[in-house]
Amino acid sequence: MKIRIRGGHGGNGVTAFRREKFVPRGGPSGGDGGRGGDVWLVADSSLNTLLHLRYNPEHTAERGRHGEGSNRSGREGEDTIVRVPTGTQVLDAEAGDFLVDLAEDGQRWLAAKGGRGGFGNAHFTSSTNRAPRYHQEGSPGEECELQLELKLLADVGLVGFPNAGKSTLISTVSAAKPKVADYPFTTLEPHLGVVDLGDFKTFVVADIPGLIEGAHGGAGLGDRFLRHVERTRLLLHLVDVSSQSGRDPVSDYEVINRELAAYDPQLAERPQFVVATKLDALDEPERLEKLRRRARADGREFFEISSVTGRGLRELVPAVARKLEEINARADEGRGVGAAEYGS
């Protein structure tokens, strides 16, 4: 997503002279122009996409007002706030240089400074120049084009082939309500859901649009969504084991893992739970058993669920919470601090 931003133009100074009664010689009284407003990017956790910027790609701060007589300075221009989802990375659109990572809610970054206001003629008065008849123009604000890339901040990422049951799962375990339908690529943009564990403990799940073979190179919905799983700490790899998919579950499992590794080798090493879905439609038990053996051969925990009937969810959700606590504890130990309880 590209946006163009401009700081506000500084207001002009003014040439003016006093004309009041009882002021015998008058004198220059032109005020300075006001400073132009700045453009700020602010991370907002209530947003989860950049869609609101697609139809409003240009953002300009208010210009400063011009100076006035009687040494009155112009008003400063109002700043412009551009709200972006938490996890947005900002790059220079022309040079490609990385500028900032807005990873915390409320984090602000000055994207474009406003122009300086020009001096009025009163500013140039001196002992040798008692009545200057000139003023200064305001300077333009900074202008640039930015490339915004969103990497969602979530604890758990759902990956798998299209129609593997990711949206149904997130709608079952959280308050998120993504579109659910029986055709591939129903999910066209990532969705975040908060899973409530009770006792004020939660974790965030990201529903990533379905991947297919070649996704890392742009096939299907492409690699524009793979970046959202880079920041997750645990992957739930959902595999449809029903015969309705017309695909082999083990092959699906291997294809997605190859795509993750091809996009970023570190993703292949990320903790991963393998989750067999759609047990309510399972008519060939050997499909489930083959996937179970393959997952265990890779040393990965295996779960079987049906989001429609709720089967297996009581085992899966607590296991995810325990794994996240374990991951957090290891991270705290690596930083040399005491282990903190997850979600507290």
**How far apart (Å, rounded) are the C-alpha atoms in residues 164 and 276?**
9
pLDDT computed for residue 146 by the predictor = 95
State the fold for domain 1-150: Spo0b-associated Gtp-binding Protein; Chain: A, (2.70.210)
Closest CA to 324 of 341, 312, 337, 305: 341
Q: Is pTM beyond 0.75 here?
A: no
**How far apart (Å, rounded) are the C-alpha atoms in residues 340 and 176?**
27
pLDDT computed for residue 72 by the predictor = 94
pLDDT computed for residue 67 by the predictor = 95
Domain at 156-335, CATH from 3.30.70.100, 3.40.50.1980, 3.40.50.300, 3.40.710.10: 3.40.50.300
pLDDT computed for residue 342 by the predictor = 44
pLDDT computed for residue 219 by the predictor = 45
Beta strands per DSSP E along the chain = 2-6, 39-44, 58-60, 80-85, 88-92, 98-102, 108-112, 143-150, 156-159, 191-198, 201-207, 234-240, 272-277, 302-304
Domain ranges of the chain: 1-150, 156-335
pLDDT computed for residue 54 by the predictor = 85
- Taking 70 as the pLDDT cut, the residues of the chain under it are 23-25, 152-153, 175-190, 210, 212-225, 334-344
- Name the strands in the sheet holding 80-85, side by side, starting at the edge strand that comes first in the sequence: 80-85, 39-44, 108-112
324-333 pLDDT, tens digit each: 999 888 877 7
